[in-house]
Every structure is written in C-alpha cells, then in structure tokens.
Amino acid sequence: MTPPAPVLVVDDDAVSRHVIDQALRAADIPCVLASNGAEALDWLSRETPSLLLLDLVMPPPDGYAVLRAARANPAISDVPVVVLTALDSDAEVARAFDAGADDFVRKPFRPGELVARIRGQLRLRSYIEELARKEHDAQVVLELTQTLASSLDLRDILFTVVRRIAEVARVDRCSIVLVPDVGSVGQVAATSDDQQLDDLSIDLDKYPEIREVVASRKPLVIQNTRTHELLDVVRKDLPADAPVSVALVPIIHEERTTGVLFLRARHPTVIGDHELSIAATIANATAIALRNARVVKRLRDRTERVNFARFKAERRLRLLKRYAAFFESGADGIIVTDADWQILFSNAKARAITGYSDQELRTHRFDEIADDPARLQAIADGLAKGTFPQNVDLSVMRADGMAVVLSINFNSVLRDDSATLLSFRDVTRERQVESELKRTKEFLESVISSSANAIVSIDRGGVVRLFNRAAERCFGRSAAQVIGTARAVQLFPDSIAAELATMLRTPASAAHHRIDDHATHVLGTNQDMVPVSLSAAQIFDGGEPVGAVVIFTDQRDKVRMEARLAAAQEELQTRERQAIIAELAGAAAHELNQPLTSVMGYAELLKRKLDPQTQAYGAAEVIMNEAERMAEIVRKIGKITRYETKSYVGAAKILDLDRSSDDRPPTGRR
C-alpha cells in the first residue's frame, strides 16, 4: 500500500514548528517542515502534500502568497489548507477564506485542537477523493455497459472489455480466457494488444493461477511471479519476458465460472483493490453481455424456425379446413399441433375449457400453457416414434390463471405433416373427488390399522378382505397370509361362521342380523381357541348385502386377570381364617391367664407353709410344676398371637394382659 503523503508545515517561528512537529508525530501524521514561504513554494513545485498547514504572517512571500500560488497550481489546487494566524480580526479570517483556506486555527493553539482540525480536513479530502473515484468508476462501467449493450458482435464485445480494463488498471495486457466445464484446454477469447486474436487454445495445466481462480471463484493478485509459491511448479518453463505482476478476476455466470480476466504487467506494478473492484464489475457486465449475445443468437435462430414453421402451418391449415366443421361441433376440446407444439387449430370446446380465444391459442405453443414440461417432452419423444398415448392427465393454465386438469388423448392427423390431434376433457373436479376419496380411504385404513380391537371384513362369499394389526396379533397370522385366501370358516367356530353366512344372505328389506358383544372363541395359531368378545354387522351396497364386518376384543388378558384375581381372593380368605384362629388362641390364652396366676400363687403359698417332708408339700410341688408348664404353653400362644408376657414367680413367664390390652402398637419383643 502506498504511504500517505505528508503534511507540509510552513511557519517562520521555530518554536511553533517544533510544537507542531511533535504533535503531528505523536498522532502518527507524517509531516515536512518549511521555515519560510520560499522554501515551501520550492517543495510544492516538486511534491504534493496531503494538507498544507500555513502561517499567514511571515516575511515575504508570506502565507497569503503561498496560498494563492497553491490554489493557482492545478496539481495541488485541491489540497486542503489550514491557516495559522495570531491576528484576531474577523476581516483577516475572511481574507484567508477568500484566498482559498479551508480552515483556520488561532495562535496560540492547543496541539489537540490542531490535530483534530487537520484530521477533519484529511477525512474530508479522503471522502472527496473516494467520491471522485467512485464517479470515475461509474463512468467507466457506464461506458462499457453502453458499449456492451450496443454491440452484438462477440469479438467486439470482448476486445472492448480487455482494452478498457488495461487502460484503467495501467497494465500491459488484459485477456479474457474462457475455461471449459471438463478438460484442460482453455480459449483466449480476446486480448487488449491484439484485436485480431480469437480463440487461441492454451493448456490450463501450465497456468496454475487460472486453475486457482476457477476453483476458488475469488480474485487473485500475484505481485511478483518470480517468487510466488503458486507458480513453483511451472517457474522453470516461464519465458524470460514473462510478466512480473499479474491479477486474475473470475467471470461468473449463473453460479459457474466461465472464464477469467487475466491482467499482466511486465514490470512490478501495484494492482490494488480499486483496480480489482473495477475489473470485477466489468467481469460481471461481460458475463451478462456474453449471455445476451447468446440469447440474441438463439432468438434469431428461433425466429427463423418460427417463420419456417408458420409457412408450414399455413399449408397445414388449408388441409385442416376439410375437418374444421366436424371438429368445431365436437363435445370434447380439440387442438391440433405441429411437432413443436405450435397450435394450428382449436375448436369451440377447447376455447371454452382453456379460456383463450382462437387467435390467442394460435399465437401460443401447447407446451407454454401446459404445466408439466418433463411429461410433455416424454410425450413428444413418443410421438416422434409413432406412439400416441391415451387418457393422459396434464395440468394446463387457463387464460384467467386458474389451473385445470385435462384428460388428453393423442392421435395422428395429417401424418405426412407430423400434425397431432389432442382431444381432451376437463377432469379437474373428478380428480379432486378422487383425491379426497383417496385421502379418506387412507385415513380410514390408518384408523382401522391402529385400532386396539381386531377388525375383520369378509365379502359375500365369506373370503377375508380386511385384516388389521390387532387381528394379526389375535389370530397369530399376517394379513398377507389371510386376505384374499382365508375364509370365515377357517377363523371362527362353526356356530359363528354359520351365523355370518346367514347374515350375508339376508336382504336389506329384512331385519338384517347383528351380533353384539357375543362371548365366543376364534381359532388362533395351531387351532388354539382364543376367547373373544365379538360384534358383527352387515355391509350393504345399493341395498344388497356385499359383506360383513366383524369386530372383536381379545379376552385372553381379561381371562388371565380374572384368574389372578380369583387366586388372590382365595389366598385372602385363607389368611382371614388363619387370623381368626390366631385371635381364638389369643382369647384362650387371655382367659387362662388369671386362673393360672391364682393357681401358681396358691401353690407357692402352700409350699411356704408346708413341711417339705410331708406328702402335701409334694402335692404343692406337683401343682407348681404343672402350673409352670401351663404358663409356658400360654406364653407360646401369646407369642404366636403377638400378646406379650411378663415374669411371674421365679423364671416363669405368663401373659402380660396389661400390655396386651394396651392400644399402643406392640414392641419388638414377642
């Protein structure tokens, strides 16, 4: 990038120059210092500053003289000028502006304000330069666009483009290289230094820079071809006079890179963003011009074909007149076309269906109003081979913009002249009804298929015609195995099959049979009897029975659930009986508690009063032992029934009736 031009500071005061120099350098603004007007004028005769910072009061030539000289020099007349003045007179300020100053700063000045004023003027100048550059670019683009739009000669278009780009970018040569979709041979379509050059073939393998731009679809700038790594593979083959600096811009049309603009300079040249932007804009315009040139050529070719076709059509129309009366009164729409779908004839019904007048139809091709180009092409291919399809549905756009569906028959007429007769009817409503019926059928099939109940439909002969997924699970057979092959007698018990057969023979006038919530069995896999709850009804068409639908629910899960419920109830009853026994045992233990306590107490009292050597003492001892054994039995009964015991006499344990009768929940001790 070219470094910015310096600011020229002109001031005879050394202190001011030093302060200004320090302020500008701190702000990264390059500057050149001049101590008087003569030194400034000498520097301005050789260089162009980015801005002139000028003290007005100096020995001759003073600031006013320098300002007038700068404004009189066309090379620097547009350079912004900021004047420094210690004069406090408004008249002096007005004089400075009249002489051509753009801004002023009074002395003594603040460095920050001075830098801000200078930057503001530099920004303003950059804006002006940018606007001027854009205006110039627009002028160049406008000039080329007008040239491209006014010329249909492809060679003139390309030569104009490359010559103008070479001038704008200041390069030695600009070329347009067209690249193929497949292959490695490109074509130099035009070059700025040779107007006669046309379609020069080049090997793209020797131009990796072109390959790179075509692949990336982005501009490429090589400032030095002697060192750039992209050219390493071909550098040994480069001629001695090969260009030093090159730039390439892709030419893109309809998302495809069709070629490149190739700018070359023999000497080191800075090809900047500005030049690339111009080249890219012109490349886009070139792509459009190339497309337009091709379109015009196609239009010319088509015009010639249309004129020839019109001549043939007029001859055919003379032959068609003999059929006109017959066709005109036809109940179906009739159109006659040639091999290119040009409409030669239409009858009244055809005009009513399409909404076009006879003249409008004659100026149209049938493929222009039909809305299915792929199918029309296939039909045209068949017609060329002598195949005339029948009952073909095509969508056609009416004159009022409404799309209608036509059922068309294609037939040959005037075979020697390749004319085709299209007879058609408007079937838009029929197709809409068919579509609605299809959607309804698909919806009902989806509902039936997803139903939790098994659904089987049989025709009047007893053959299965519908078998949903729930039926597959119930019978253990797939729909493919059953539909169309199995009969009702193979699925249902004899009684149900017989009742269904009777139902199918019952006319609509009679009270036709229904079966509601009938508990029965169907034949599952391996002839297993599957319990179901079954309902059935007749299906009528036009008052005649045509079949029956059977809906049933698989009861196996219900049967299993009822069996588990019965087992649970039986177990509950057993546990209730055990609880009653336990309560009886507890009650018995409770009733024995008090008498046992008394017996043990009196036995102990007798043992204390009797002589151990007497027979009575032995009897008391026996009573005591038996009572203790009885206490142990009562304790075990209490443990079984969750009644607690307590110590009584000695180590004996008896029921603790106080704690057993407590409402508090029992403790862990039993």
At 652 the pLDDT is 47
Q: Is the pLDDT assigned to residue 410 strictly greater than 70?
A: yes
Question: Does residue 313 lie within any of the structural domains?
Answer: no
- DSSP H stretches of helix in 363-512: 366-369, 373-384, 428-450, 469-475, 479-482, 494-504
At 660 the pLDDT is 47
Kind of pairing between the strands at 185-191 and 200-203: antiparallel
Calpha distance 438→430 (Å, rounded): 12
Q: Which residue has the higher pLDDT, 444 or 140?
A: 444
Question: Does residue 323 lie within any of the structural domains?
Answer: no
- pLDDT band per the 50, 70, 90 thresholds, residue 667: very low
* Span 295-307, average pLDDT: 58
Same domain, 28 and 83: yes
Provide the strand spans (E) within 149-282. Answer: 173-178, 185-191, 200-203, 220-222, 245-253, 256-265
Same domain, 159 and 285: yes
At 305 the pLDDT is 63
* Span 458-485, average pLDDT: 81
* pTM confidence score: 0.34
Question: Does residue 73 lie within any of the structural domains?
Answer: yes
At 669 the pLDDT is 40
Q: Is the pLDDT assigned to residue 278 strictly greater than 80?
A: no
- pLDDT band per the 50, 70, 90 thresholds, residue 649: very low
- Domain end marker among 554, 588, 619: 554
Q: Is the pLDDT assigned to residue 525 strictly greater than 80?
A: no
My answer on whether omega of the bond before 61 falls inside 30° of 0, hence cis, is: yes
Same domain, 226 and 157: yes
> What's the number of domains the chain is made of?
5
Same domain, 413 and 511: no
pLDDT in tens, 319-363: 556 666 666 767 788 888 888 888 888 888 888 888 888 888 888
- pLDDT band per the 50, 70, 90 thresholds, residue 287: low
CATH at 518: 3.30.450.20
Q: Is the pLDDT assigned to residue 2 strictly greater than 60?
A: no
Look up residue 642 and give its amino acid.
R
At 527 the pLDDT is 65
Same domain, 356 and 233: no
Same domain, 410 and 487: no
Could you tell me what percent of the chain has a pLDDT over 70?
80
Question: Does residue 24 lie within any of the structural domains?
Answer: yes
Q: Is the pLDDT assigned to residue 388 strictly greater than 80?
A: yes
- pLDDT band per the 50, 70, 90 thresholds, residue 510: low
Cα–Cα–Cα angle for 479, 480, 486, nearest 5°? 75
Same domain, 106 and 155: no
Same domain, 545 and 638: no
Same domain, 333 and 218: no
At 664 the pLDDT is 47
Q: For 547, what's the count of Cα atoms within 13 Å in the CB-facing half-sphere?
A: 14
Which range among 257-271, 281-295, 532-546 shows the weakest confidence by mean pLDDT? 281-295
Calpha distance 365→347 (Å, rounded): 16
- Domain end marker among 491, 521, 554: 554
Q: What is the mean pLDDT of the chain?
A: 78
At 640 the pLDDT is 65
- Domain end marker among 381, 404, 432: 432
Question: Does residue 443 lie within any of the structural domains?
Answer: no
Question: Structural domain of residue 71, as residue ranges?
Answer: 7-133
pLDDT in tens, 588-621: 777 777 788 888 888 888 888 888 888 888 888 8
At 630 the pLDDT is 82
Same domain, 534 and 624: no
Phi/psi for 303 (5° steps) reads -60, -40
Calpha distance 654→649 (Å, rounded): 9
CATH at 614: 1.10.287
Q: What residue has token string 């490429």? A: 220
pLDDT in tens, 411-429: 887 555 567 888 899 998 8
At 100 the pLDDT is 82
Same domain, 548 and 577: no
H/E/C letters for each residue in 603-628? HHHHHHHCCCCCHHHHHHHHHHHHHH
Question: Does residue 70 lie within any of the structural domains?
Answer: yes
For the chain, report the end-to-end CA distance as a whole number of angstroms: 103
At 643 the pLDDT is 47
Q: Is the pLDDT assigned to residue 666 strictly greater than 50?
A: no
Question: Does residue 383 lie within any of the structural domains?
Answer: yes
Same domain, 249 and 278: yes
Question: Does residue 410 lie within any of the structural domains?
Answer: yes
pLDDT in tens, 126-161: 887 777 666 666 666 666 666 555 555 667 777 877
Q: Is the pLDDT assigned to residue 513 strictly greater than 70?
A: no
